């Protein structure tokens, strides 16, 4: 037990510097149970790490919303041409 | 004692290696009906598959070759291989895994030809090299501080309106640029996992990397994109 943490929120034994490197394993559900508990324990007392975790979640959500490209007509035409020439029976 | 060898799981062209993580149990394939249609030469099924996967294939191909013309050629070759190989596709892996393995193999071959070698082992090599920290060390308190390695310069919340700001075209451009600057293996993993929304299992199969290495690459890539977004939001 660290003396200087007595009057402040208990952040457990992980540092913020360690937490930011564990964020992906945490979100992926890849942390061993005991480590996950230490991670959660840290979060209960550390607002900046909650913000950090939230920013990672927002980053992932943003990546999932990048616009999709559609198939250009000329590509579609070329491929369909090949498709139509494709023999029904092989060999 | 020797265990019986598992035959290669994919059949689209003899150059394909077996899956890194064998898929042992049958699973529902969302494309099963379209694949049946394709085997019966149903043009509508082919067009639906094209529309479903073309954008994803192109995005991944671009990770390997950077120029759009070559990426489009690789994607076109991939579809031709699908047409030629679909009769031999047995559904041991999902169609999607099979399709992307064809693309990855073609893209790698092409990258090697053009001197942009991304060999099978280089993804693992990149994951196993020490990477940059997720957050620069100077943002944490010094070792002799009463709170060593806790935030000195903490991140600021992106705020209530962050959703609209994150979706702005300007932000999307910034994210695309941040991804383009990542090392190739990180680009591949973040593209497949977070942009395309694949599961880690499928990504590991297609890229032939371990779960651990996949997570390392994903972590570095996400950390860099988050940092780019943070820099963008903080300057306003």
Please report whether residue A13 resides in a domain: yes
A51 close contact with B: CB closer than 8 A: yes
Right CATH for B122-234 from 3.40.50.300, 3.90.226.10, 1.10.10.10, 1.10.600.10 = 1.10.10.10
Give chain A's domain count.
1
Distance from CA of A40 to the nearest CA of B (A): 16
Structure tokens at B27: 């699973």
CB contact under 8 A, B54 and A71: yes
Give residues with Cβ within 8 angstroms of B35, minimum separation 6. B29, B45, B86, B89, B91, B95
**pLDDT digit of tens for each residue in chain B (236 aa)?**
444 444 334 434 334 444 444 444 445 788 999 999 999 999 999 999 998 898 889 888 887 776 778 888 999 999 999 999 999 998 888 898 899 999 999 988 887 777 665 555 677 888 888 889 999 999 999 999 999 999 999 999 987 667 778 878 888 889 999 998 998 889 889 998 999 888 999 889 888 889 999 999 999 999 999 999 999 988 76
What value of ipTM does the predicted structure carry? Answer: 0.77
Q: What's the CATH number for B32-113?
A: 1.10.1740.10
Please report whether residue A91 resides in a domain: no
B230 close contact with A: CB closer than 8 A: yes
What residue in B sits closest to A24 (Cα-Cα)? B219
Give residues with Cβ within 8 angstroms of A21, minimum separation 6. B133, B134, B219
Global pTM reads 0.74
Burial B2-37 (b: 16+ CB within 10 A, else e): eeeeeeebbbbeeebeebeeeeeeeeebebeebbeb
Distance from CA of B8 to the nearest CA of A (A): 22
3-state secondary structure string across A48-90: HHHHHHHHHHHHHHHHCCCCCCCCCHHHHHHHHHHHHHCCCCC
Please report whether residue A90 resides in a domain: no
A50 close contact with B: CB closer than 8 A: no
Instruction: Quote the domain boundaries for residue A45.
Output: 3-85
Range(s) within chain B of domains with CATH label 1.10.10.10: 122-234
């Amino acid at each position: 037990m660290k003396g200087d943490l007595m009057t402040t929120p208990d952040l457990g034994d992980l540092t913020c510097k360690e937490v930011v490197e564990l964020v992906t394993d945490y979100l992926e559900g890849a942390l061993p149970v005991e480590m996950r508990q230490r991670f959660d324990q840290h979060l209960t007392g550390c607002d900046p790490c909650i913000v950090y975790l939230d920013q990672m979640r927002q980053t992932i959500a943003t990546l999932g919303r990048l616009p999709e490209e559609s198939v250009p007509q000329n590509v579609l035409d070329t491929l369909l041409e090949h498709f139509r020439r494709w023999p029904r029976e092989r060999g | 004692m020797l265990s019986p060898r598992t035959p290669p799981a994919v059949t689209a062209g003899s150059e394909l290696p077996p899956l890194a993580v064998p898929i042992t149990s049958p699973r529902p394939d969302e494309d099963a009906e379209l694949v049946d249609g394709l085997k019966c030469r149903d043009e509508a099924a082919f067009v639906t598959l094209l529309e479903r996967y073309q954008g994803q294939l192109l995005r991944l191909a671009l990770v390997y070759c950077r120029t759009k013309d070559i990426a489009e050629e690789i994607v076109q070759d991939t579809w031709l291989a699908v047409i030629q190989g679909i009769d031999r596709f047995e559904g041991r892996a999902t169609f999607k895994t099979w399709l992307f393995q064809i693309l990855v193999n073609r893209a790698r071959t092409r990258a090697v030809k053009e001197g942009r070698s991304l060999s099978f082992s280089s993804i693992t090599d990149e994951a196993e090299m020490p990477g940059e920290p997720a957050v620069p060390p100077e943002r944490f308190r010094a070792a002799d501080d009463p709170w060593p390695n806790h935030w000195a310069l903490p991140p600021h919340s992106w705020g209530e309106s962050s959703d609209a700001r994150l979706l702005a075209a300007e932000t999307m451009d910034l994210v695309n640029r941040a991804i383009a600057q990542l090392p190739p293996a990180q680009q591949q993993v973040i593209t497949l996992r977070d942009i395309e929304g694949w599961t880690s299992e499928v990504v590991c199969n297609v890229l032939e990397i371990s779960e651990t290495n996949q997570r390392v690459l994903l972590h570095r890539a996400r950390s860099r994109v988050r940092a780019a977004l943070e820099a963008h939001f903080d300057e306003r």
